[in-house]
Amino acid sequence: MNRAKANRDLDRVWQLMAGLVMDSRGDWRRKVAEVTGLPFTRVRALWRLAEGERTLAELAASMGTDAPAATVIVNDLEERGLVERRVHPDDRRARLVSITAAGKKLLHAASAVTDRAPQSIAKLGAADVKELLRILGPLARK
């Protein structure tokens, strides 16, 4: 297989995987929003902050958004007592954002929402599921 064909195949695999995920998670996202009482974007920010404190710029980058949008999200979360900001110890112009105990409690509730496989995956046979786990498992490790 030539390199161009291999790259096209890789791109197609990625597009199929991304499409499957993007098209099938709406119900789960709505349930998470209902359980938490927050828009999903806010919960998503909390999950990022649960990994460790970040600057607003780092949070924005990890969420694929811009700094003004991240500021709006953090302002809302801070008003709700779910995050707090402090001056960055090495750069007084920057603020570090961290999750509070209340934010962690909310994430615990969000984590209880079951993220079931979509029907297209659920109808696979056991051997196919095992093969997908064999292939995707190592890709998910950091």
Q: What is the pLDDT of residue 142?
A: 54
39's CB contacts (< 8 A; 6+ apart) are 33
Q: What is the pLDDT of residue 62?
A: 94
Report pLDDT digits (tens) over 48-94.
999 999 999 999 999 999 999 999 999 999 999 999 999 989 988 88
pLDDT band at residue 1 under the 50/70/90 scheme: low
d(CA 118, CA 107): 23
Asked if residues 12 and 5 have their Cβ atoms less than 8 Å apart, the reply is no
d(CA 89, CA 71): 19
Report pLDDT digits (tens) over 97-124.
999 999 999 999 999 999 888 888 899 9
Report pLDDT digits (tens) over 5-60.
888 998 998 999 888 888 888 899 999 999 999 999 999 999 999 999 999 999 99
How many CA atoms does the CB half-sphere of 7 hold within 13 Å? 3
> 26-114 — its CATH code?
1.10.10.10
139 has pLDDT over 90: no
Query: CA angle, 113 as apex, 65 and 60 as ends, to 5°?
Result: 10
